[in-house]
Amino acid sequence: MLWLKQETPHPTAAIAIRESPLVQARSLKSPLQTVQSSALAYGLKKNPVPAPVVEVLPPSVKASVLNRAQPVWLMTDIPEFAELKNARLSPAQTIEQLRQSLRDAGARQMGQSVRFAMLNLAELMAMEPKAWAASLDTPAASENRASAMLLTFYLSYLDRAGDGAGVKALLRAMEQGMAEERAVREFILAGRSLAELEREMGRAFADAGVELQFTRRGGLAMRP
């Protein structure tokens, strides 16, 4: 398995994995603020411009895809993504807004960075619709949503070439009948392990002053 003992540091400084028997309730001040700020902060080095127009799915992929089966953690159809295209914040504003949003959600201040607990990818990517729905009235609901939004945004705008190719390919494949786990492994992981993807996410968000701490609940998990 991928998991280490409680509070054991991850090989990458920006990431830690801890066991969390009962995840405390977290409610993002605005989920849009978190994903919006992460994208701009990470992209400052190459393109210090306002947030790009959001279009997770290309015109060739019909909107009906979103009404068909897709991973419960892939939140491409939420209003916040449509609103993101109107963002016009400076790099400094986006970084501070991100940090403050996470502080309001219970993140801990660690020097110049904040540490935010995110459900580990093995459990997040293995979550089924019934489990997601069952958690809606529990403390885990807020963490599920925040974790899914961070993962969706990373895959859509920060992963690899930053064009969301993996997400688009996954949706096409599932629309054509491919099993979810196979599609995830082929188009999202694309030869990487779950641990490698977590490390890459950690490095990306660390550029925005956010340390992702992947938590474990002990639920159904995707095989390494």
pLDDT of residue 22: 36
- Where is average pLDDT lowest: 29-38, 84-93, 107-116? 29-38
What's the pTM? 0.67
Selection from 1, 4, 26 nearest residue 15 by Cα = 4
User: Which amino acid would we find at residue 103?
Assistant: R
The per-residue pLDDT for range 193-203, each reduced to its tens digit, is 999 999 999 99
Give the pair of three-digit tokens for residue 211: 């340390």
The winner for highest mean pLDDT among 102-111, 149-158, 183-192 is 183-192
Selection from 140, 139, 146, 174 nearest residue 57 by Cα = 174
Give the span between the Cα atoms of 162 and 178, in whole angstroms. 24
The per-residue pLDDT for range 161-193, each reduced to its tens digit, is 988 999 999 999 999 999 999 999 999 999 999
pLDDT of residue 37: 44
**Spatial contact of 146 and 28, defined as CB atoms under 8 Å apart:** yes
Q: Which one has a higher pLDDT value, 19 or 113? A: 113
Give the span between the Cα atoms of 89 and 144, in whole angstroms. 27
Give the span between the Cα atoms of 101 and 33, in whole angstroms. 7
Confidence of residue 101 (pLDDT cuts 50, 70, 90): low
Q: What percent of the chain has pLDDT over 90?
A: 34
Calculate the CA 92 to chain-centre distance. 22
Size of the chain in residues: 224
